[in-house]
């Protein structure tokens, strides 16, 4: 970390940190709280006459991605690709292509280092992507958040497939094109969901390709060998009832009622945050996500947690025993699935989240059961008979996990924890922004990593801090245009006072999870930057103020945030809002606010979503403004159709830099929103007891 002057390292008082934002008005004078006049304001609005709007078509020209590799004539040698291809012809493998997804066996977004196989084989470290390797080609698919990052990290042996762009084939289309008919495509069945594997199997069958499940050998692990990190083994902790709001017995009882209603006798839960939420447990196996690697099977009469018992402390053991939960080894899940089928269980499996290995194992065991002779079946110890005592035999109930929605609907204790953690988080951010501006004004040379590290230092002093909720996105200038940019020590930029700076960060606390983005300028922003920032802000305000009828899916609201950019032909390549867990994963479903209109999940009171429109000019700058919101019922003068109407409650209270606002674009009501927001920031955060 860059050496800092001793004065800058001194803890700052909370009152100092709120001398730094202001109110807006149409007049040439700007109303301030008296305390705000003590020194130059980081969040101040320079009093200038309205600026004319520059035509957006005359903006900075982004370089085409092809320029980065245009001088490469031959693919670079890649020893990892060569080694993995040598395994294609190994006995028991015999494949023509191999697929390496990003996920672990639980379809997690963030995964332990030992499961980062796609990153290891390709050197692309973004959180989303799929690798396909054939005997003579290697390709990576990723979405618009990561195009620039992938361009930098992939060597010339790789083909970058920009998913979503016109003319870019899917993985199955590409395989059908490059493989001779009748090829064998290998996968690790633990790493693809059942849905994904079935979709892939059907798509490649058009060219008579076969999908091959390689249970016993992951090819990446086969070349990673001793250098592969060890699996995580950190202890689990109990999530206090005062934060959870509902005990495990009550949650299990509700789940069992769902099983009965669905005609199911047991359910397999494989999503790590669902296991954590249902059992009121938290772990630290996965960076940024307070979860532990485990499966859970809940039956009508018992529940079994499949986990490494070395992680189970005496407190956790007592907690589980009191809830009637038994323990079995993590790697015994498939044998348990076979046993359930032998016993005739009607097993609830979510094809979207349960991996293909579990699903395939259950189906094979069920087929074997139903293929048994009558005499053999009489001797089976069937635990799951229907009401007349006759065995129905194993039958899958294939539908979405009921825990996903239950977890998304936060109870009063969870909402209170989210509110409290966000206020403490805002206090840390206020201290941080004052420190950063002072350092920049003093010409300190701070890298993007230095800044992220210092923010972590401020947050870690807050009560209940556990971890960051994702890798901090600290991007100066052009790096801000890389939507999920992660600065690396020795390979990142110095924060430039003359460029836009984007900071997207979050924290895990014992009582809540935060996620906030602010974009700032330490000098004089250009008219172009101010216009783009202001239009992003207008979209943010429009979504924040939205009122909508119950049963409205999130995609309906996405245009609220984009419309101001659309008016001048601009847009952004990511969703506008994602669900957020309560002291759990920073990204959770099933709700979202996105242009991807396939998600019909309605927004419901108690859900939490982000509000994060943005704009990015490749190789130039990035802008994003993000708050978290909870869905609440709104008292409207009318109730057309006799239904309720919903809106949002703000959870995030951190100033928005008004220097970047072009007042000529804002309406009076938008200015009122910004003034009112900053008034709430002051009232809520300045009262926080300091933890420094």
State the angle between helix axes of 194-204 and 171-178 in degrees (0 to 180), rounded to the nearest 10: 30
Report d(CA 92, CA 217) in Å as an integer. Answer: 9
The pLDDT, as a whole number, for residue 38 is 30
Q: Which pTM was predicted? A: 0.85
SS3 breakdown of the chain: % helix, strand, coil, rounded to 5? 40, 20, 45
H or E, element range at 566: helix 558-566
**Confidence band for 596, pLDDT divided at 50, 70 and 90:** confident
**pLDDT tens sequence across 659-668:** 999 999 999 9
Average the pLDDT over 137-148 and give the result.
Answer: 91
In contact, 237 and 283? CB cutoff 8 Å: yes
Q: What is the pLDDT of residue 148?
A: 85
What is the arithmetic mean of pLDDT over 468-479? 96
545: left (phi over 0), alpha (psi -120 to 50) or beta: alpha
Q: What is the pLDDT of residues 370-400, one digit of tens each?
A: 876 444 444 444 555 554 334 467 888 999 9
- Bridge partners of 282, per DSSP, are 237
The 10s digit of each residue's pLDDT in 510-566 is 999 999 999 999 999 999 999 999 999 999 999 999 999 999 999 999 999 999 999
Q: Residue 673: pLDDT above 80?
A: yes
- CA 505 – CA 495 distance, rounded (Å): 16
Strand partners for 519: 502
User: Looking at residues 95-115, what average pLDDT do you find?
Assistant: 95
Q: Where are the alpha helices (DSSP H) in 343-411?
A: 356-370, 374-378, 402-408
* Model confidence band, residue 689 (pLDDT cutoffs 50, 70, 90): low
Please say if the pLDDT value at position 637 is more than 90: yes
pLDDT of 58: 31
Give the model confidence (pLDDT) of 302-341 as tens digits.
999 999 999 999 999 999 999 999 999 999 999 999 999 9
Cα-trace Rg, the chain: 27
pLDDT mean across residues, the chain: 87
Residue 660 token pair: 């970047």
Q: What is the pLDDT of residue 5?
A: 31
3-state secondary structure of 592: strand
Q: Angle, nearest 10°, between helix axes 527-544 and 668-685? A: 80
Tell me the three state secondary structure of residue 482: coil
Query: In the chain, pLDDT over 70 holds for what percent of residues?
Result: 85
The confidence score (pLDDT) of residue 144 equals: 84
∠458-460-462 over CA atoms, to 5°? 85
Average pLDDT over residues 461-468: 97
pLDDT digit string (tens) for 44-95?
332 222 222 223 333 333 333 334 444 444 566 789 999 999 999 999 999 9
Strand partners, 130: 141
Model pLDDT for residues 17-44, shown as the tens digit of each residue = 333 344 343 332 222 222 222 323 333 3
């Amino acid at each position: 970390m860059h050496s800092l002057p001793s004065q800058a390292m001194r803890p700052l008082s909370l009152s100092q940190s709120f001398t730094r934002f202001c109110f807006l008005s149409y007049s040439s004078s700007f109303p301030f709280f008296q305390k705000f006049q003590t020194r130059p304001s980081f969040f101040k609005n320079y009093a200038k006459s309205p600026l004319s709007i520059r035509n957006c078509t005359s903006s900075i020209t982004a370089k085409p991605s092809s320029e980065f590799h245009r001088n490469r004539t031959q693919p670079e040698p890649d020893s990892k690709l060569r080694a993995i291809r040598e395994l294609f012809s190994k006995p028991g493998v015999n494949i023509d292509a191999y697929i390496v997804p990003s996920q672990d066996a639980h379809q997690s977004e963030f995964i332990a280092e030992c499961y980062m196989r796609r990153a290891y084989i390709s050197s692309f470290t973004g959180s989303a992507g799929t690798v396909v390797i054939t005997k003579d080609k290697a390709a990576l698919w990723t979405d618009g958040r990561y195009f620039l990052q992938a361009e930098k990290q992939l060597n010339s042996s790789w083909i970058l497939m920009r998913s979503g762009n016109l003319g870019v084939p899917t993985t199955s289309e590409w395989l059908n094109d490059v493989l001779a008919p009748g090829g064998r495509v290998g996968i690790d069945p633990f790493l693809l969901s059942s849905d994904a594997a079935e979709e892939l199997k059907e798509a490649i069958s058009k060219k008579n390709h076969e999908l091959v499940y390689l249970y016993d050998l992951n090819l990446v692990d086969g070349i990673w060998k001793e250098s592969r990190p060890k699996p995580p083994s950190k202890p689990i902790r109990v999530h206090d009832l005062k934060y959870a709001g509902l005990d495990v017995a009550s949650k299990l009882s509700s789940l069992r009622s769902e099983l009965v209603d669905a005609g199911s006798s047991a359910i397999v839960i494989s999503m790590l945050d669902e296991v954590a939420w249902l059992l009121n447990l938290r772990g630290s196996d996965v960076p940024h996500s307070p979860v532990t690697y485990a499966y859970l099977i809940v039956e009508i009469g018992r529940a079994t947690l499949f986990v490494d018992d070395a992680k189970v402390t005496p407190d956790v053991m007592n907690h589980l025993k009191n809830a009637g939960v038994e323990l079995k080894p993590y790697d015994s899940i498939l044998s348990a699935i076979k046993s359930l089928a032998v016993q005739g269980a009607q097993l609830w499996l979510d094809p979207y989240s349960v991996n293909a290995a579990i699903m395939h194992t259950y189906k094979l065991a069920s087929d074997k059961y139903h293929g048994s002779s009558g005499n053999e079946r009489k001797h089976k110890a069937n635990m799951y008979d229907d009401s007349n005592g006759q065995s129905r035999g194993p039958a899958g109930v294939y539908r979405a996990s009921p825990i996903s929605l239950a977890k998304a609907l936060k109870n009063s204790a969870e909402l209170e924890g989210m509110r409290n953690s966000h206020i403490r988080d805002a206090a840390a951010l206020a201290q941080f922004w004052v420190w950063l501006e002072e350092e920049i004004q003093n010409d300190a040379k701070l890298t993007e990593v230095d800044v992220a590290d210092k923010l972590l230092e401020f947050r870690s002093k807050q009560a209940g801090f556990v971890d960051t909720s994702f890798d901090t996105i600290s991007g100066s200038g052009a790096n801000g245009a890389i939507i999920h940019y992660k600065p690396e020590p020795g390979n990142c930029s110095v924060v430039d006072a003359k460029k836009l700076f984007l900071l997207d960060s979050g924290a895990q606390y014992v009582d809540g999870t935060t996620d906030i983005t602010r974009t700032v300028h330490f000098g004089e922003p250009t008219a172009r930057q101010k216009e783009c920032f202001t239009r992003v802000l207008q979209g943010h305000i429009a979504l924040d103020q939205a009122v909508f009828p119950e049963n409205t899916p999130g995609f309906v609201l996405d245009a609220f945030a984009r419309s101001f950019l659309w008016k001048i032909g601009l847009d952004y390549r990511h969703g506008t809002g994602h669900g957020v867990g309560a002291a759990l994963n920073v990204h959770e479903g099933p709700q979202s606010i996105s242009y991807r209109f396939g998600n019909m999940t309605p927004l419901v009171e108690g859900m939490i979503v982000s509000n994060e429109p943005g704009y990015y000019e490749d190789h130039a700058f990035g802008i994003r403004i993000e708050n978290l919101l909870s869905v609440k019922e709104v008292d409207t003068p009318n109730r057309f159709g006799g239904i309720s109407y919903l809106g949002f409650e703000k959870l995030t209270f951190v100033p928005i830099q008004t220097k970047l606002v072009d007042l000529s674009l804002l309406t009076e009501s938008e200015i009122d929103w910004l003034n009112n927001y900053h008034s709430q920031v002051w009232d809520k955060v300045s009262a926080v007891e300091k933890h420094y």
